[in-house]
A and B are shown apart, each in its own frame.
Chain A
């Protein structure tokens, strides 16, 4: 019984140690679960799109539902110009969702509960959106930082505020996902520990709480993946349709 609720977030090496220069790129349990979730996505969607029967089976239904879900999300928030980025947003959403959901299975590792993972995803989105904005609008993309209808006296302050607000995007995006996943899993572990320490007499209360928390965590796991994807769409919308 792991008494420390934080031991579940430990990253350890699986197999031999691999070093390239000063970097340790050994295969860890974190990488194992990234591979597992990517493989699960590949298998489910390959099987789901293999035979397009008129009466869909469960896998095909799952694949089609998630396709329409993401495509509706993109067209609602970013409009038709964001169509070419569908593949990226779909894989991003699915990866985060599957990592979160695999973390809900007991004895597994939650990849997204580490800030470095979410921060790499978020900063990749941030850099990509910035590049897209500059290639579509050239230097006109800088107009994002200068809202129209602001008196000239306030302009320097407003520009600084807008720049800080733009730079805070990857941080808020990554911290949100990481904090929600880590807090939820720690809480579940703490209540699990209460069940053991209170024994058969008083353990029923934390046990029922634990059951309720598991349901809540599954909701959070889905919601955070959804929020991550929809915010990517919103940032993409800012870059594609510049009207501030």
Chain B
């Protein structure tokens, strides 16, 4: 085998390895982990917002109003959180 032949074969093998590495990078477990992360992010923010509204209502005696306002703020927070983590995934 001449040196040129060997060089081309080496190049082909290297390219194959590179492709495999790129594929593995896109498919690694952290992207599945990020997908799992998003689902609870939305729910947790709504729950925390509602709890804060409930506590504030009890302390100030403004029964239905603050819980409604903070519920919607919680929903907004959840959506913002999901958008943020989706943006992080695209990086």
**Nearest residue in B to A175 (C-beta to C-beta)?**
B40
CB of A7 closer than 8 Å to a CB of B: no
Q: Contact check: which of B37, B40, B43, B80 meets A165 at CB < 8 Å? A: B80
**Cβ–Cβ contact A171 & B33, under 8 A:** no
Q: How far apart are the CA atoms of A160 and B56 in the complex, in Å?
A: 13
Main secondary structure of the interface of B (DSSP, over half): helix
Q: How far apart are the CA atoms of A224 and B44 in the complex, in Å?
A: 17
How many contacting A-B pairs (Cβ < 8 A)?
A: 62
Q: What chain A residues lie within 8 Å of B67 (beta carbons)? A: none
Number of chain A residues close to chain B: CB under 8 A: 21
Q: What chain A residues lie within 8 Å of B68 (beta carbons)? A: none
Main secondary structure of the interface of A (DSSP, over half): helix
Q: Contact check: which of A167, A179, A223 meets B40 at CB < 8 Å? A: A179
Q: What chain A residues lie within 8 Å of B76 (beta carbons)? A: 161
**Nearest residue in B to A230 (C-beta to C-beta)?**
B33
Q: What chain A residues lie within 8 Å of B44 (beta carbons)? A: 168-169, 171-172, 175
**Cβ–Cβ contact B32 & A164, under 8 A:** no
**Cβ–Cβ contact B52 & A223, under 8 A:** no
Give me the interface of B with A, judged by CB distance under 8 Å: 29-30, 32-33, 36-37, 39-41, 43-45, 47-49, 52, 70, 73-74, 76-78, 80-81
Known: A171-B48, A172-B44. 18 other contacts (CB 8 A): A160-B73, A164-B52, A164-B74, A164-B77, A165-B77, A167-B52, A168-B44, A168-B45, A168-B47, A168-B78, A171-B47, A172-B43, A172-B45, A176-B40, A180-B36, A222-B29, A226-B33, A231-B37
* 18 contacts across the A-B interface (CB closer than 8 A): A157-B73, A161-B76, A161-B77, A161-B80, A164-B48, A165-B45, A165-B80, A167-B48, A168-B44, A168-B77, A168-B81, A172-B43, A172-B44, A180-B36, A223-B29, A227-B33, A227-B37, A230-B33
Give me the interface of A with B, judged by CB distance under 8 Å: 157, 160-161, 164-165, 167-169, 171-172, 175-176, 179-180, 222-224, 226-227, 230-231
